[in-house]
A and B are shown apart, each in its own frame.
Chain A
């Protein structure tokens, strides 16, 4: 049962790594497509597959993903009402740590990904916000809906949340952060983030 309900949160990255078929393509969908093309190029680049190049490859993946994800928006939403109380420096440190946590655990997996199909189902733009719906068909024939929430800043679309089977990544972290912040302190939250990133598991 545990596994039945919380399947494959990891899969949200796979949307970039499969050959996408486009039903419609607006500006936000195009943004995802460009990133997806770059990542496919890396995944299928044999010169990067050697063990020595592993770090470089991971670095390249992270750089490309950084160009699509707005970590500030991620952080602001994940801290929610605790965000306003933090100083600029605290915010910066938090953004950096949160980015590393998500990247370490999810992006590093990118290299292992193979197979699967992605269909872009829909793109809804309302003002400066957008929702791009996709569906991933895994190699085990399971269909998993993945939605990307995007925000337009200075004319560029950025991803600020990912929904996997209706489960929001940001909300999931918000619940955890909120619980820690209520029970202890912001310093403790930063320490636990650092610990988690260092341990890598």
Chain B
């Protein structure tokens, strides 16, 4: 119990490494940096192993979760953060710094620390000649800290802390070569697209707390499985869909996958760790953790399955024609993640988790191997300029071949077991309701084999298309890089054997281990008279169905066909080889090569960086529209108000000047002057004239009275 009680130390080991890099990294030697940063991860892995052993003793096979709450970080017992739930009762808002260990998180813990450790060791070799060595390892350790927080969290809020942390580290590491514009742009893209998903995640978590009253997984699972809620409950469906949106962002599903291929701008170990083995699996982890909620929302599950299948085939189609070795692997990752969500969506949670587990090994191996190839090729990443590397870099070649066989699903490599399990569950789930998705998955498997072997042929077996410069410098990578490759290859072979299916005589130990996490008790329906669902474990019935063998055979056949097609097209690919798709269907090739123009579509519709005719859509378009509105309409009103004021003032002035002053004031004066001008002509100054006027007046006066 010693290790379990100190489980909070697990994330703190890499945090310590990151802190050392933050404060002292600049002054340290490369060897010191390696020793500290790789050392803490090795420590974390060892600690994790002991912790999981402790846990198995603790759980005794019951799978009960071990929860340790270190302190309550948000809210507290005194209820000052109480809120009203949907049904009107009062609940306390609590989020703790708490750690939860159960079969699901112990699996994640082991492979995250294990693969992380191998990648850190590899990075000491790969990044040996790069600048910013301490910065790289600081960010990698920070990433491991966030990922471990995410995995070990006991509630949605702490999980979200880890979630955001891995997003941040992804940004920092993709943009590691920040002086390259493409790298910094890709980092922005990753973070921003991730953020869209995060909005969904937060809304989902808040919906759950508003409906169920708690953030903690244990409490939510208990409530969800208690039978209080009907299957198809609307609020839970909404919450599940919102959480899935978060998973789409983090785990690169359609439509939020666009950041993952661009993320290849980062150094190869980053691609291996973050974008293959660990960060992108966080979405799968979160959905698996929320399986109790998802099981109550069949609509959400269907959505997850459909999106997963769609992503799988969509990404595989793009991967068929890419020329950059890392891009092929990136699209492969997106496609395999689609498989995982397909599994979760049809209800085969354990199969999905198993695929995450095996995929971590062989995908990390593929990425590290490609990194080794790039290292050997002095930085060349374009497969059109590779070829004939089989004899020159043998270790890399053999390990990558093993990984390719694993991903293609060839027996007895790891991928066979996990992929086959997913396909089998898809075929049989819900009495065959998802059969159409099986076909999608099958087609994807065919494409996967094709593009992976295309990669192998173009890189290793075809005639050399290298430039002389590069050809001279081709050399095998140092031990620090090849040893992790070998270890991962061994895991890629053996990891699948942990869940040898019943149909082939095994005991499916992996799935048994996970059973308690995904067990569904009978959920009593409140309305709509649907029959109660039974426990999940029974899906994998103890007796084997003959169809399963047939489907296994079909998968192997698909792998063989894919291999054959790749070999015939690329085995002899010389200097100016042509793509078979480009020859047979050029428009299809253009569409696939341009990634179905999705990025361009987003540019038009959402960002608005390009105009549609004269109009700009998206965010920038909204800005332009707002600016137009402000300039034309609002300022127009203001300007018009000003014009009205000026016109009124003009009229007023005219009235004042001409009517009031003119007529009113000056008028009488002018009138007086007009009369006075003639009048003064009578003033001659002669006395006798005045006397005459006087006499005349007198006479007139007199006449008036005489004549009266």
Genuine A/B complex: no
| Interface residues in chain B, defined as those with a beta carbon under 8 Å from any beta carbon in chain A | none
| Interface residues in chain A, defined as those with a beta carbon under 8 Å from any beta carbon in chain B | none
